[in-house]
Structure 1
Amino acid sequence: MEQRCDWALTGSNFLRDYHDNEWGKKTTDEQEVFEMLSLEIMQAGLNWDLVLKKRQNFRKAFDNFEVDKVAAYDTAKMDELCHNVAIIRNKRKITATINNAQAVIRLRSEGIGLAEFVWKFSDNKTVMNNWDHPEQVPSETSFSKKIASELQKKGFKFVGPTITYSFLQAIGIINDHLSYCEFKN
């Protein structure tokens, strides 16, 4: 039997597949990075397994997280999303996702994409942590606080240090697979 991080043993196949194939793996595609940021925001206060179960619904509802399309959403589209029972219908989170797509467009006008912007903080390298126990994995660090602050300065919303830390794990800037996990590298 394969050794996994403890959290990947407690949920659905969606959770295990995410752990095995995505979490902690370097992601630099802007659309994928934007999707992960958006999903991490949707997860706030809930559990990741729930978000992953609804992931295809989110992709459909948010035009596959195409930044330009999401940035152009109007009030009618926001209302549609707030009434979509297939996704998490939190108006603040939906508004933040639309706002963040607009912030990505502003970044582009400065000559930098979202992926490039966040990866520059680690010099384009994955931070490989070496935790032996789940309790050792932090929910935020000075590193995530710094990036959250920089994202906020660029107009991003709903990106506190904890959501930002999870986002950094999701796109592989931080690799927090436990030392015994066979999916660490």
Structure 2
Amino acid sequence: MIQRCDWATTGSELLCDYHDNEWGEKNEDERAVFEMLSLEIMQAGLNWDLVLKKRQAFREAFDGFEIEKVAVYDSTKVEELRHDEAIIRNQRKILAIINNAQAASKLKAEGTGLAEFVWQLADNKVIVNNWKHAEQVPSKTPFSQEVAVRLQKKGFKFVGPTIVYSFLQAIGVIDDHLSYCSFKK
């Protein structure tokens, strides 16, 4: 019998599929890592199930999260996004995603991409936690605080330690599958 982390059993089939096939899997693809950071920003204050339901609309609205395309969005594009009922239309979050595309572009120009930058901070190793209960999983750690500060110094916005912790889980830097979860590595 397949067992899943508690959070993956309380929403839609999309949530379950995300848990089983994506969350916690090592991801070093630049576009995909930028997408996950952007989605985590959109999720702040909301629930992940809602973001997953809107994921395809986000991909369409943000040009597939192609960093170089998002980095050059202008005020006209911002207004278009603010009026797109298929996505979360929070202006601060939209502007942060555009800003972060610009920051990721600068990182690339300096010789490293966002994915490589984040993975280097973890010494290219997965941090494996062995939590037995969902209540034990923190919302932030000293490491997520360090990564948040480093991202902020590189010009990224809306990247506090809690959003960064969720982002690190999403791209597999941190393996927080519960100890009983069938998907624990």
Letter of the structure 1 residue corresponding to residue 57 of structure 2: N
Structure 2 counterpart SS, 1:107:
helix
> What is the correspondence of 1:20-31 to structure 2 with a 5 Å cutoff?
20-31=20-31
C-alpha separation in 2, matches of 1:23 and 1:126: 13
> What is the correspondence of 1:111-150 to structure 2 with a 5 Å cutoff?
111-150=111-150
1:175 and 2:157 matched: no
Shift of 1:121: 1.2
State the partner residue of 1:106: 106
Shift of 1:109: 1.3
Shift of 1:124: 0.7
1:40 and 2:40 matched: yes
State the partner residue of 2:16: 16
Letter of the structure 2 residue corresponding to residue 158 of structure 1: F
Per-residue CA deviation, residues 123-170 of structure 1 (Å, 9 max, x unaligned), is: 111101000000000000000000000000000000000000000000
State the partner residue of 1:91: 91
Aligned length: 185
Structure 1 stretches lacking a partner, 5+ long: none
State the partner residue of 1:59: 59
TM-score normalised by L of structure 1: 0.99
TM-score normalised by L of structure 2: 0.99
C-alpha separation in 1, matches of 2:109 and 2:66: 17
Tell which deviates more after alignment, 108-117 or 38-47. Answer: 108-117
Amino-acid identity (%) = 72
Moved over 2 A (4+): none
State the partner residue of 1:4: 4
Structure 2 stretches lacking a partner, 5+ long: none
C-alpha separation in 1, matches of 2:135 and 2:108: 38
Shift of 1:184: 1.0
Structure 1 counterpart SS, 2:135:
helix
Structure 2 counterpart SS, 1:157:
coil
Letter of the structure 2 residue corresponding to residue 39 of structure 1: L
C-alpha separation in 1, matches of 2:119 and 2:143: 12
Per-residue CA deviation, residues 108-127 of structure 1 (Å, 9 max, x unaligned), is: 11110000000011111110
State the partner residue of 2:50: 50
C-alpha separation in 2, matches of 1:78 and 1:109: 25
